[in-house]
Structures are given as structure tokens and as C-alpha cells.
Amino acid sequence: MSKNTTVSNSVIRRLPRYYRFLGDLLSQNVAKMSSRELSEKMGLTASQIRQDLNCFGGFGQQGYGYNLAELYKEIGNLLGIDNQVKTILIGAGNLGRAIASHIDFNKRGCNLIAIFDSDESLKGTEVAGMSVHHISKLHEFCKENEPVIAILCIPKTGAQAVADDLVSMGIKAFWNYSHYDLQVNYKDIIVENVHLGDSLLTLTYRVNNQ
């Protein structure tokens, strides 16, 4: 499928989930699956799945089910998994260290190449097999290595200033864990805010109101 094929936003939002489910099925040596079976696993309707997967060329054959390996590869291409976008992480506190260690970046199309922190005492400590750099090295590093994505695991205060700096150093996208809706006043800069606290509050609401 050409990259220019139009895929709706709602389908795009579901892509990571399809990719995760298909990866799991392939790792269990499942090669084919019908839309009905997939729908039971994923909690979507079979017709929704057929409609979504048709967007990617429709690797299903009536009565035979979908070729999961082909579908996985095609969705991976669409996501750009093989591009391995250069990524840096700012903030090597509890959360930063956990994100660096917990996320399989390569499987998410990213290559985590460096970790920075403003705390002198963390300089040189090892996180996820990398040595933490002092934040003062950021500018030089970005100039030499041209990272594209920055992960912000820093407190709310200062997050905006660091983000503005990073944009000036060529960063194009932020994965933002600060308790703060990052606003970048430059067009074409991409922001994905992760609000863990909001997620817990949603659960709290449901517990208290169900």
C-alpha cells in the first residue's frame, strides 16, 4: 500500500492496538484468523475489523481468514516501525528511568540514543544500558546527532522552557509525561501528552459512581 493512501483518524488511533494484538498472535504462532475471531479478542465488531483492515489492502480471504504476518508487516510499514526515529529522554528520575527500561523502543519505531538530566549527581549513572548525560551537553549532542523525538519526564515547572529549547535544537516531536499540557507555538511540532494522573482519576470516578 502506498503511504499516501488516506486512512481516517479513527482508524489511525486503532493502528497501535491492531499492531500489538497481531504481534501477540504471531508470537503465539497463529498464522491466520477470521475477522470474527479477531473481533472476539479485541472487543470490536467483526464488521468494524473488516472495514478497518480493508483500508490496508485487506489481507483476508473469504473463508480463510486474514494472513496475520502480512497484515502485521503492512501496519508496521504504515506506522513507520523500520524508520527507527532518533529519540532522546530528558529526566532520569523515577519515571524517566522506568520509561527508559520498560518501553521496547525499537518495536515502537524509535531508537533511544541518549538520556539527559540536570542533576549533577546522576551524571554518568547507568539507565537502560546508557550513561546519563548532564543537560548542559544537550545542545552539542543535538547538533551532532539530530534527534527527532524528545521524551519529557521532568517536573511541570520548567517543562515549557525545556520544550522551547528543544524545538530550537531541531526536535520535531514530544512524548510528554510532565503534569502539563505542553503547548508548542511552532507549527509542525507534534505533541503526545501522557497524563497518568488523569487516567487514575477516570478510574476513581468510575469506582465512586458505578
- The closest alpha carbon to 109, from 145, 133, 84, 135, belongs to 84
- Residue in 31, 36, 131, 201 binding a copy of itself, rule: CB under 8 A: 201
Interaction of residue 85 with a copy of itself, rule CB under 8 A: yes
Residues in binding contact with a copy of itself, number by CB under 8 A: 59
- Residue in 49, 71, 90, 110 binding a copy of itself, rule: CB under 8 A: 110
Contact partners, residue 164, CB within 8 Å, separation at least 6: 184
Shortest Å, Cβ 112 to a copy of itself: 10
Count Cβ atoms within 10 A of the Cβ of residue 200 and give its class: 0-12 exposed, 13-18 middle, 19 or more buried: exposed
Question: If DSSP codes are grouped into helix, strand and coil, which group holds residue 83?
Answer: helix
Q: CA–CA distance from 107 to each of 17, 42, 56 (Å)? A: 13, 20, 20
Choose the binding region for a copy of itself from 55-63, 129-137, 138-146, 171-179 (rule: CB under 8 A). Answer: 171-179
**Residue 106 CA from chain centroid, whole number:** 10
Q: Which residues bind to a copy of itself, rule: CB under 8 A?
A: 3, 12-13, 15-17, 19-20, 42-43, 78-81, 83, 85, 93-95, 97-99, 101-105, 107-110, 148-149, 172-173, 175, 179, 181, 183, 188, 190, 192, 194-210
